[in-house]
Structure 1
């Protein structure tokens, strides 16, 4: 038998079969044995060699392809950064569970892919970033600057504070890579421009006005016709996603509200109140500061002025000071005629009532050393020379203890209430830690009631009581509380106001039967019928307008009022922004014709309109600053679109593989 098997496999036919099997094995299987490795990428980007753009993905040709990978850990770090940024933006409204969607994950991954694609394209194009560019970019980062200048010590400290710490070499390489991948799209975006002819056309479009006539077709009458079981079943099958029961939880909670606690266990003694009063006086409280009614004349000295200019300013100040001291001199008139202080010149140098801490030190020192009615010698400050007139002094006044007493007693009570709240919260939490799966024992030890709420959904807008608080909902729908049944940490819902909660029941989102939602289905079918009836009426009116009938005739037949609006601009919501948008999307009417259309309004009514005339905007009405701003804005828009198109084109030339199971 063995001899027969040997004879069958040693002939020419067996040789041919073996050769044919070797070919696919060589091209499609060999690399799996030769280059086996542990795959951990979240995305892989592959590009054919530049000298062979159409190279097939066959082994061994694939060995010539360039490959870059985005590691799953790198993606997780980037996604966590995106999460933290969103948390900072949304604050208490941030929901970690809602953020954990595949859509958000793909957005983060696509950003990383774009960066990798640009880096590969830059490297393949031979684009390099010099050391000088890297150095300039680092020195321009505000976090590394002190008083607007690069500080090497702050640079080192900032890098060492990273988690994990980063070496300058690593950071420099990151900056180099970032500059390399952003160089082409940035330069492309900055090179965009808008020509003078394009600016004229934009001004004509933006300033365009249209003569419009319209009628408002009211919502159709209520639909009361019966809905068959077959229609209900079909609608339910077509819209099943709309009739899913939302995820709900039922909770029990304890409300620890400091405002309900007694103000104080005992009133403060007279001696304690007086002691507190004395301490507040020393701290500057209950004391009205001294005020001085002041005028001045300023002789300004420009920054960096030479000695000659400074001497001239000083001489002028001395001359004005001498004039102000003359018997019968009018200080206000001198200030109006000579002061360089634009803020007080018109009012005769009047600075109003001045207290300590409001003026620069030289001015203030001189002012508070004067007596009422005096005029100072010229005083030099960073602004120049001042001639100061002290017109009146209002001495500081101290609030008597008898007046301050009520405020001190109130504050003492609030402090006691806050202390009592903190003690109660701490005591309650200690009891929770002893029995983390029950609220009742901790509530009983603190003499607080356990309340129940639910079922509730994640929608804070429809929540009642504490269920309207985003922080409460985040805790109630967290996996840890749902799965473990433990009591939450204290959740702050206001000043000196915490709640502790525990999830007692949980119902995941689920499909419902037609029987459970039949009333809603019937209401939706009737609303759809009503909408379609209004649409049909509006479509018939538009068809008549296209056939040449006038809007006035059509409206009169249906007892609707026509409104004529000549010269309507783009920015006017008449009667609604959606309607105005439709007016300007309609084509310009031909001579002697109208351009009809319709637009649905939020209340269910429909606007049927006819555009009768289009008047282009007049570019001459725009000044040069407006033109410059328009060119700049549209240039940036075009540049951004060009850069986006570049990335999209580069991605099409490469093969991108995404491993969603690792996201």
Structure 2
């Protein structure tokens, strides 16, 4: 197909013009591009599709949010196929609850919305000293996230309405004490048992598989003895670093950047303040705060009458124990170090000037500006190295889109080699041997561990025709392309090569079968003659106290009928062997121990089960479906 396209370019251009032009006329170029960019639907809720592009964008936002909240965490932990699928599940859940809220006509009052916004810590930080909201900073905060206040408040209102859908089930959940006791007694029941283990490993020395046994197992399990499909490849990676290293920054541009950013490069102004603090908690009664304010007013008059005695007044009267002994001195600080009312007052004063009463969440302050430290302006030569790094990075950001377009076109148009694109963009051709379709755990190379990259390398066109892969986007500003130089397809290995593995597996199966036969025979014998049984000493087991027994043994012992005791149970553990259990008696449970905690836990289980059942009902009612397989 691709050969035909390359050999008949003009014919294909004419055919594509005939096919595409009518769609432009009917739907418009913007709509056409949008339909291509959206991709295929990945989920649907109430007849409305969630498109691939919506999913990609939502996960990108989620990863960015995690990066900003945990800057020191490895972001690769959040950008995995499993994490991305979780994002899609969350999108479906959010969309489903919104639809349900609309159908149930669940609304949110203005008072409820206001209360929710007041509890938001990001918004609370924007409040002035008098409690009013700084609207301009509020708009700036939301604008940085691409939202207006109206959009944000509509989103919060929708979220609150969606929460009501499930909270109604949780609030009305009820688990009677009698039912809880019956269930908990059964779940935490204790039983005294004796066991006999028939481990498969104990019979291994008795097993002597024949060549016929090995041949039969090898033929019936050939898929277990295949070599992994592998490929030797060469590949190139285009990222910001590769673009940046080829950029030469003109001297004139460096000097222009220096001049435009002199104030920022110089650093921040710092101020040295002394203060007198009279404590007054913002939650204190009004009378108590008025008394503190009056005390501060008296001290302010004393300072105004004798400015030179500020330090002495601070030592005797300031209730800031950290600075009082130093005459109220707080040393130098820059913007952002103090609470906003204090900072605003400090940076409004002139050197040697005293403030009025400044109220903060700590109380009432009297401030005196004792010094100002202006930032030192470094010369161009002192900053030249760091300036070049900054400018080179910015230029790389601008030029990456152009380089990415060249990269994408060249790996396709000159598909028989990566050398042309490497030479044009000055990229290194890297090589890897023995690459498999599935990334190895903890692979050191992020490119070779990327599922999209591996899928492209092992595509039919790449394998059969040894052509370059398409340009694969591995992340923000990272593209890669590869080509296979040597391909080794998966094949069934000869029996001679895997005979040791076959022998090991056949011995394990036959040993387990011998253990099962011996255990089942003893179970029948001991049921008939209990006194002949060779069992362990009695132990008490429960779902909390497993006594180093396999979970299957615990469950079998606790589920066995106790109408007639002792009860005998045989448990097949597969390749591990067989266990015979003699249940002797039920051990009374300590009803007082952790009883309240267990009932609370049961109530949570019950509420969760009801919530899950209701959510499944909503999924059926509104036909919510994820159309992509879980990875």
TM-score between the two structures when normalised by the length of structure 2 = 0.54
The aligned residue for residue 387 of structure 1 is 365
Q: Superposed, which structure 2 residues align to 1:271-420 within 5 Å?
A: 276-277=257-258, 279-283=260-264, 286-287=267-268, 289-290=270-271, 292=273, 296-300=277-281, 313-314=289-290, 316-322=292-298, 335=319, 355-359=334-338, 361-369=340-348, 376-380=355-359, 386-388=364-366, 395=373, 397-398=375-376, 400-401=378-379, 404=383, 407-408=386-387
Q: How many pairs were matched up?
A: 487
CA 439–314 in structure 1, closer or farther in 2 if over 3 Å, else same: same
Aligned-partner Cα distance in 1 for 2:563–2:588: 13
* Native 8 Å contact 1:286 1:398 kept in 2: yes
Structure exhibiting the larger radius of gyration computed from Cα positions: 1
Match of 1:256, SS state, is strand
Q: The residue matched to 1:386 in structure 2 has which SS?
A: strand
Shift of 1:195: 0.8
Residues 126-172 of structure 1 deviation map (CA, whole Å, 9 limit, x = unaligned): xxx9xx9758337699xx999879xxxxxxxxxxxxxxxxxxxxxxx
What corresponds to 1:137 in structure 2? 106
In 2: Cα distance, 1:495 partner to 1:435 partner: 25
Query: Would you say the 8 A contact 2:209–2:503 is kept in 1?
Result: yes
Distance 1:397 1:94 in 2: 48
Separation in 2 of the partners of 1:534 and 1:329? 91
Q: 2:188, 2:544 within 8 Å by CA — same for their partners in 1? A: no
DSSP-derived class of the 1:471 partner: helix
Partner of 2:609: 637
Instruction: Give the counterpart of 2:455 among 474, 486, 490.
Output: 474
1:50 corresponds to: none
Name the counterpart of 1:578.
551
Q: Does 1:435 align with 2:435?
A: no
> Which sections of structure 2, spanning at least 5 residues, go unmatched?
1-39, 60-76, 119-157, 304-308, 622-631
> In the alignment, which residue of structure 2 is the partner of 1:456?
436
Which secondary structure state, in structure 1, belongs to the residue aligned with residue 236 of structure 2? strand
CA contact (8 A) 2:191 2:587 kept: yes
* TM-fit CA distance, 1:523: 3.4
Change (3 A) 1:450 1:646: closer
Cα-to-partner distance string for 1:471-521 (whole Å, 9 max, x where unaligned): 211222446656776533333557876431235787887888878866544
Distance verdict in 2 for CA 1:94–1:361, change over 3 Å: closer
Q: For 1:582-621, what aligned pairs fall within 5 Å after superposition?
A: 582=555, 585=558, 587=560, 614-619=587-592, 621=594
Counterpart-to-counterpart distance in 2, 1:200 and 1:482 = 63
Q: Match of 2:629?
A: none
C-alpha deviation, 1:395, in angstroms: 3.5
What's the counterpart of residue 148 of structure 2? Answer: none
The yes-or-no answer on 1:231 pairing with 2:207 is no
More divergent stretch after superposition (435-444 vs 207-216): 207-216
Contact 2:236/2:480 (8 A) holds in 1: yes
Cα distance in 2, alignment partners of residues 647 and 571 from structure 1:
35
CA pair 200-391 structure 1, distance change in 2 beyond 3 A: farther
- Taking a change above 3 Å as real, the CA distance of residues 518 and 224 of structure 1, as seen in their structure-2 partners, is farther
Deviation, 1:317, is 0.9
Q: CA deviation at 1:194?
A: 1.3
Quote the RMSD (CA, aligned, Å): 6.4
8 Å Cα contact 2:469-2:481 kept in structure 1: yes
Which residues of 2 match residues 262-277 of structure 1 at below 5 A?
263=245, 276-277=257-258
